[in-house]
Amino acid sequence: MTTKADELAPRRLLRRLRDVMASSGKAQQKLDSVVTLIAADMVAEVCSTYLCRAGEVLELFASKGLKPTAIHHTRLRLGEGLVGHIAATAKPLNLADAQTHPDFAYRPETGEEIYHSLLGVPILHGGRVVGVLLVQNRSRRLYSEVDLELLQTIAMVLAELAASGDLVPRDELFPVEGNVVLPLRLEGTPLNPGLAMGSAVLHQPRIELRDLVAEDPEKERARFEEALDKFHSALDELLTAADIVIGSEHREILETYRMFAQDRGWLGRINEAIGSGLTAEAAVQKVQEETRVRMESITDQVIREKLHDLDDLAHRLIQHLTGQENTAATADLPDDVVLIARNMGPAELLDYDSQKLRALVLEEGSPTSHVAVVARTLDIPVLARVKGVLEKVDPLEPVIVDCDNAQLFVRPSEDVQQTFAESMRVLAARQARYAETRHLPAVTADGVSVSLNMNAGLLVDLKDIEARGADGIGLYRTEILFMVRPRFPNVEEQTELYRSILDQAGDRPVTFRTLDIGGDKRLPYFLADSDIEENPAMGWRALRIALDRPQLLRQQARALLHAAAGRRLRVMFPMVAEVAEYMAARKLLEMEVSRARRRGEKLPDKIEIGAMLEVPALFWQLPTLLKHVDFLSVGSNDLFQFFFASDRGNPRLSGRYDVLSPASLSFLHALVRQCDARNVPVGLCGEMAGQPLDAMVLLGLGFRILSMPPPAIGPVKAMVLSLRLAELAGYLETLGDLPDHSLRDKFRAYAMDHEVAI
């Protein structure tokens, strides 16, 4: 329990310290004045500051009481002597007789042998020890709790000065081995392939505290209470929102936040820090720094995660208290942003100017996290699970993200930079060559026209139609809109988005795929944890959800009809397993058409309804299905995972089966033959359509409509322009019933021999 008198003395000292800090002197002069002030105020015969330097060394930077000649001469290794002990453990020491401590190291140049008692605390910044502050006295005394608290508070104020770069050069302050600035190579898990170089941008910028010392603790407490109250009400609002499912992961995170925001120990420590004269934000920071240090030594994953949550909470409170609530998205950004975050929501990623985004690096993240799905549609490389990246990278440092080799280079050396720059130049030159062909129609060397379309899922993708020379959008994944929102978009919101997509596409056709949620695309506001399935890819997803919750599909159909009024509307249903399902979905759409007609609403000029072929069973009902569809689109990603019973997201299985195998090719060939016989257009919109070699084979099998990720259009068009299709079809006939695992090598050899650009 602290008394009024206990509170007053520290505040007086802090005020004086603040005046010294705000003065115009050099950093070293300020530090000299600070130790003198502390010594006088705490009635200590010695007050010294050691700062960490390159090579894990602590150097005496300022002292009142020790011999002046020792300043900048006395150095101790991390772990050496009591100062080294405090720095290594990041914990305070309070000793009545320091010389009897086993770690005591006698340094004759300092003249400290006459001092017995010692109180020392680490100076922490960004979860790291940047120095040590200590007081000493001749008499054998134990310092009080109040003294300890005061010294810790002063250390907090000093931390800003120590980390400012004015005392120890900034390049010695980086948290790398030996405290020197070495290039680092960190490993991660790629969630989207690719290569990028750029400048590091921290999604949550480190907050610079301008005001550390406050005049009136009552006022600071009130500020803190107010911030906490606001935080509580925001949490309560979120928690009671009808669309957060009980037991969902989302809810669990919010509950954890609330638990910490009510934690007495945590609140008590913040209150104490405010009492000692810190501003509310500095008090939260002080407690947060201590928590971070604790985090370092905890190996239990669950506790670590909880402490991480606490760290997040503190960060949010500081943001709130300092009014610096923005993420880096609103800052002035470099042109080559490599965004670094612990984790982030998909909507937060979309706040960034996509023209400037080069890559995303996450400390956490998983392949199914929505931010990864969105990053994929933006076509930027994503490297996840990069341990400790937030602490190891400073803003605007050069970084290279190499997802193809699962690595991140921080401050890469000149030769590493040159090697990667060369690879990127080659890639860029190739893209430039593709750009030159964007106005050419995709016609093979022997005169067969092919329709090359792009897959999209966000409005930003649409800029690519023109730039890449796509004929249309062959697959618009509507679920992405649902994933970047905190709740279901209503009919008006959906209408607006679909309308702007059609506006931007102009005369080019857009094929909207109805909601494909479930499976790996879980919406936190829709599916609860209890809905987690053992086998989600084959679970309650896509059309199955739409048929069980017809309102969802009807609302989407309504929005699509509104958006396409007076224009062409193409809609397709995902994951159709049998004709009856397709018919049921089509009926729901037709009910909406009738409703619109009854209400006298303007309808689309033309409505085409199709199905995705992703479930092999549908193949065996083709004669019936083809009577009822306007077109078919093969979703080869899902189709072949079911065809080979091989999870499309499992890295251990990727490459095990090849889509260019005799089995898959004979399946696709039979499919095209049946569609052609009944004059039903059939396209393919899975990833294989974007691989030039695979696309070549698809054309040989008879496909004339392909849809792919936007960057693939250039390379595939180059292949089309160089292909003599009749010859290829003849070659395919010769392959007959081969027993091979894959025909890929044969096709590659064919392409080489026939100068097809693959």
Active site residues: 370, 685
Nearest to 455 by CA among 603, 366, 345, 574: 574
Q: Residue 59 touches which of ligand PEP, Mg ion, none (CB < 5 to 8 A by kind)?
A: none
Query: Of residues 472-491, which lie at the interface with ligand PEP (CB under 6 A)?
Result: 475, 477
Site string for ligand PEP, 523-562 (x = CB under 6 A): ----------------------------------------
* Amino acid type, 355: Q
Distance CA 582, CA 268 (A): 61
Query: Of residues 394-453, which lie at the interface with Mg ion (CB under 5 A)?
Result: none
- Which CB atom, from 468 or from 513, has the smaller least distance to Mg ion? 513
- Which CB atom, from 574 or from 700, has the smaller least distance to ligand PEP? 574
Of the residues 453, 636, 661, 691, which one makes contact with ligand PEP according to CB under 6 A: 636
The residue assigned the tokens 């006698």 is 106
Supply the minimum distance, in Å, between the C-beta of residue 637 and ligand PEP.
3
* Structural contact between residues 393 and 340, judged by C-beta atoms closer than 8 angstroms: yes
Supply the minimum distance, in Å, between the C-beta of residue 481 and ligand PEP.
14
Stretch that binds ligand PEP, among 37-45, 206-214, 312-320, 633-641 (CB under 6 A): 633-641
Q: Residue 278 touches which of Mg ion, ligand PEP, none (CB < 5 to 8 A by kind)?
A: none
Should residue 635 be labelled a site residue for ligand PEP when binding is judged by CB under 6 A? yes
Q: Residue 475 touches which of Mg ion, ligand PEP, none (CB < 5 to 8 A by kind)?
A: ligand PEP
Stretch that binds ligand PEP, among 387-395, 503-511, 636-644, 736-744 (CB under 6 A): 636-644
Of the residues 41, 516, 592, 658, which one makes contact with ligand PEP according to CB under 6 A: 516
Query: Of residues 616-635, which lie at the interface with Mg ion (CB under 5 A)?
Result: 635
C-beta nearest to Mg ion: residue: 638
- Which CB atom, from 13 or from 685, has the smaller least distance to ligand PEP? 685
Q: Please, what sign has the CA dihedral across residues 166, 170, 171, 175?
A: positive
The CA radius of gyration of the chain, in Å to the nearest whole number, is 32
- Which CB atom, from 196 or from 716, has the smaller least distance to ligand PEP? 716
**311's tokens:** 């760290």
Of the residues 59, 112, 638, 658, which one makes contact with ligand PEP according to CB under 6 A: 638
Terminal Cα-to-Cα distance of the chain (whole angstroms): 76
Number of residues that bind ligand PEP (CB under 6 A): 10
- Which CB atom, from 51 or from 612, has the smaller least distance to ligand PEP? 612
* Structural contact between residues 183 and 409, judged by C-beta atoms closer than 8 angstroms: yes
Stretch that binds ligand PEP, among 2-10, 169-177, 246-254, 632-640 (CB under 6 A): 632-640
Exposure letters 586-604 (e unless 16+ CB within 10 A, then b): bebbeebbeebeeeeeeeb
Should residue 637 be labelled a site residue for ligand PEP when binding is judged by CB under 6 A? yes
Starting at the edge strand that comes first in sequence, how are the strands of the sheet with 189-192 ordered? 184-187, 407-410, 398-402, 195-202, 337-341, 357-362, 382-384, 189-192
Stretch that binds ligand PEP, among 138-146, 362-370, 582-590, 629-637 (CB under 6 A): 629-637
Should residue 685 be labelled a site residue for ligand PEP when binding is judged by CB under 6 A? yes
Q: Between vectors from CA 663 to CA 660 and to CA 664, what angle results, nearest 5°?
A: 50
Should residue 614 be labelled a site residue for ligand PEP when binding is judged by CB under 6 A? yes
Should residue 638 be labelled a site residue for Mg ion when binding is judged by CB under 5 A? yes
Supply the minimum distance, in Å, between the C-beta of residue 633 and ligand PEP.
8
Supply the minimum distance, in Å, between the C-beta of residue 524 and ligand PEP.
19
* Structural contact between residues 267 and 260, judged by C-beta atoms closer than 8 angstroms: no
Distance CA 374, CA 532 (A): 22
* Torsion angle (degrees, nearest 10) of CA 219, 223, 226, 228: -130
Q: Residue 189 touches which of Mg ion, ligand PEP, none (CB < 5 to 8 A by kind)?
A: none
Should residue 686 be labelled a site residue for ligand PEP when binding is judged by CB under 6 A? yes
Q: Residue 464 touches which of ligand PEP, Mg ion, none (CB < 5 to 8 A by kind)?
A: none
* Helix boundaries (H) for 353-474: 370-378, 389-392, 414-436, 463-468
* Structural contact between residues 691 and 643, judged by C-beta atoms closer than 8 angstroms: no
Q: How many CB atoms lie within 10 A of CB 729?
A: 14
Number of residues that bind Mg ion (CB under 5 A): 2
139: left (phi over 0), alpha (psi -120 to 50) or beta: beta
Supply the minimum distance, in Å, between the C-beta of residue 173 and ligand PEP.
46
**734's tokens:** 């010769």
Distance CA 682, CA 614 (A): 13
Distance CA 156, CA 289 (A): 9
Supply the minimum distance, in Å, between the C-beta of residue 469 and ligand PEP.
21
Per CB under 5 A, residues contacting Mg ion are 635, 638
Residues lying near ligand PEP in the complex (CB under 6 A) are found at 475, 477, 516, 614, 635-638, 685-686
